[in-house]
Amino acid sequence: MGRVMTNDPSCIFCRIIAGQAEASKVYQDDLVTAFMDRRPLTPGHLLVVPNEHTANLAGLDETIAGRMFVVGCQLAQALRRSGLRCEGINLFLADGPAAGQTVFHSHLHVIPRFIGDGFGLRFPPGYGSGASREDLDTVAAKVEAALRGNRGESSEQEE
């Protein structure tokens, strides 16, 4: 596996990528590195991280983001073939403290799952009643407008 220059010596993931901190690596290319989570939710729990220090999704280059997902999918398939207990997979990315991010070098979790593994998502009170079409359309319009703004596109470019 190639060695990559670290770009934030105070960041544990940068140090792992550069080979300056211990980790059980399973994959590395020019854009991303994958290694075992030090505190696995289930055996086989992996992290896919950009080689370049990037704290959050907003700073993530499109090509690198795409590569993270592709490698995450390949690792998911590998986990299913690995002999580890793996009846399902969760891909999970926490962006920001409110979402549970604790290491501020963006990372995609690849988590093997099986019935009774004890892990899960907790739903908020009142979940399940559904939202009205009107509310969904209002929210969709806000997101759509923000998306156009982010991408610097005018509405004329929309279909």
Residues that bind Zn ion (CB under 5 A): 8, 11, 13-14, 53, 105
Q: Closer to Zn ion by CB, 105 or 109: give it.
A: 105
Q: How far is the CB of 126 from Zn ion (least distance, A)?
A: 38
Distance of CA 51 to the CA centre of its chain: 14
Q: Closer to Zn ion by CB, 16 or 75: give it.
A: 16
Q: How far is the CB of 17 from Zn ion (least distance, A)?
A: 7
Spell out the residues 6+ positions from residue 65 whose beta carbon is closer than 8 angstroms to its own.
Answer: 57
How many whole angstroms separate alpha carbon 16 and alpha carbon 115?
Answer: 32
Q: Closer to Zn ion by CB, 104 or 114: give it.
A: 104
Q: Closer to Zn ion by CB, 11 or 32: give it.
A: 11
The answer to whether 67 and 48 have CB atoms below 8 angstroms apart is no
In three-state secondary structure terms, 123 is coil
Residue carrying the six token digits 């009205």: 132
Can you point out the beta strands (E) in 4-158? 25-28, 32-36, 46-50, 88-92, 108-113
Alpha-carbon distances of 44 from 6, 12, 62, rounded to whole Å: 26, 20, 27
Q: How far is the CB of 8 from Zn ion (least distance, A)?
A: 5
Q: How far is the CB of 158 from Zn ion (least distance, A)?
A: 36
Residue nearest to Zn ion (CB): 11
Q: How far is the CB of 145 from Zn ion (least distance, A)?
A: 33
Q: Closer to Zn ion by CB, 33 or 42: give it.
A: 33
